[in-house]
Amino acid sequence: MHDRQAPTRLQMQMMAEAAFAALPAKFREQMGDVVLRVEDFATQEQLASVDIDNRWHLSGLYEGEPLPDRSIWESGRLPPRIWLFRQPLIAEWRETGVRMDDLVRHVVVHEAGHHFGFSDEDMHWLEDKAD
């Protein structure tokens, strides 16, 4: 599987935007200010924020205030961001054989769940129920 061409950052960004655009309208409308970003790896600060030491173990991250925790009285804050980390996603793609656009969609949906205040446990439960 190593002979497949890994997507560039731009190609992965386009996959992420397509996954975002495919979300149901009622969810997409509530994510209006969320920014999608693709980087090769998470920063040390990003890894520390989720108690992960190995940069290969983080494929996506939501940074921002979840909707249920926001206040209408707060302003001047950066928009929430969904990060996708290209190299860990490529490693997973090569190890599992799962289609890259499916991996990217999974990360986008998972991190979008954090925007709505879902915990990792909530999302795993929802995914298990969907299977």
The domain spans of the chain are 9-65+79-130
Average pLDDT, integer, range 28-55 = 94
pLDDT level of residue 127 (50, 70, 90 thresholds): low
Angle, CA of 95, 98 and 104, to the nearest 5°: 105
DSSP class of residue 36 equals E
Token pair listed for 59: 């494929």
Please tell me the distance from the alpha carbon of residue 23 to that of residue 46, in angstroms, as a whole number. 25
Tell me which of 3.40.605.10, 3.40.640.10, 3.90.660.10, 3.30.2010.20 is the CATH number of domain 9-65+79-130.
3.30.2010.20
Q: List pLDDT tens digits, range 50-67.
A: 999 999 999 999 998 766
Entry pTM: 0.85
